[in-house]
Amino acid sequence: MKYHRPTRRFQLPLLLLLGFTYGCATTSSLIPGTPDPQLIDGVSGAQLSMKDVTPRLSSVRHIYVGEEHTSSADHGVQLQVLQSLKALNKDLVLGIEWLPLTRQPALTKWQAEPLNKEAFLTAVGWKKTWGFDIDLYWPILRWAHEHGVPVVALNAPNNLVFGYAQNGHEGLSEDDKAMLPPLDSGNPLHRAFFIEMMRKAAMAMGDKNSHAGFEDHIDAYYAAQLVWDETMAREVTKVIEEPRYKDRTVVVLAGRGHVDYGLGIPERVRASTGQPYLIVSPATEKYQPSTDAKEDPSGRILPKANLYWWAQ
């Protein structure tokens, strides 16, 4: 339903993965001074009000809001979701794909100090660890700092991801081996989704050589995706099981490829914790609401998103 660093040849298509991964006006927004959110159910396609959505937002321990990393609209929705949850008096933890877990000490230290953008960029090595325009992300980070919401770095460091993808377990340093999570490579639904995602990304580049490179190195690319997804799922699980966060909702901000259909991070966390989740997808002209779904081997239906939230 549609509504209105390995070798250069290996690394370029792999870095494509870093680029992924109508409302009702009868209720007032939870966020003062903002328009009513426009919401669509990801299963039925029905228009929803905030009153409809509030029980969903309040009943789960982990919520995922996808993004295209360079989309200001997507990041705007992410901030609105955080603000809405806060307005519901939810205590939160913010989990972000944007930084590797090795930067957590610097991130925690930055949060304990007075708000300072330049200090943040220096402390976490933003240009090297992520590199996208900080102005896309800063409103969210500033909001978390101002509201005392803990921010947790979820991602695997690049040396672990690319090292494993190119050389396997034995090619890793001892420190990297210690960071490597168990990898579930026996998930045909996830692998098929990943291949579909890579093919679309490669074709969008319009570069036949890159497309051929993707086909030639599919096992290595999938290994990299597994390291990303499994690492972030493990870190989210740790947060959910952390006693000091037992009453908090974990909001995870990550690329659409790690979130859609729950196949990347959410299903892994559900399997580890037994906790149900909610996927919120920012809706834009490029990524419009749909009722797309996949069926897992057990017969469970996995919607692409539980809720679509139109960017304002």
Encode pLDDT of 12-70 as tens digits.
444 444 444 423 333 456 777 777 889 999 999 999 999 999 999 999 999 999 999 99
Q: Is residue 116 part of a domain?
A: yes
Whether residue 207 has pLDDT greater than 60:
no
Number of domains in the chain: 1
Q: Is residue 2 part of a domain?
A: no
* pLDDT for residue 45: 97
Residue 213 sits at φ, ψ, to 5 deg, of -65, -40
Whether residue 240 has pLDDT greater than 70:
yes
Mean pLDDT of 143-147: 98
275: which 2 tokens? 């906790």
How confident is the prediction for the chain on average, in pLDDT? 89
183 burial (CB, 10 Å; 0-12 / 13-18 / 19+) is middle
- CATH code, domain carrying 179: 3.40.50.11550
User: What is the per-residue pLDDT across 259-296, written as a single tens digit (0 to 9) for each?
Assistant: 999 999 999 999 999 999 999 999 999 999 999 999 99
Model confidence at 127, pLDDT cuts 50, 70, 90, reads very high
Q: Give yes or no for a contact between 94 and 66, defined as CB atoms under 8 angstroms apart.
A: no
Q: Is residue 3 part of a domain?
A: no
Strands 249-255 and 307-310: unpaired
Q: Is residue 107 part of a domain?
A: yes
Residues of the domain holding 158: 8-310
- Of 297, 299, 254, which is closest to residue 277 (Cα–Cα)? 254
Q: Is residue 1 part of a domain?
A: no
Q: Is residue 251 part of a domain?
A: yes
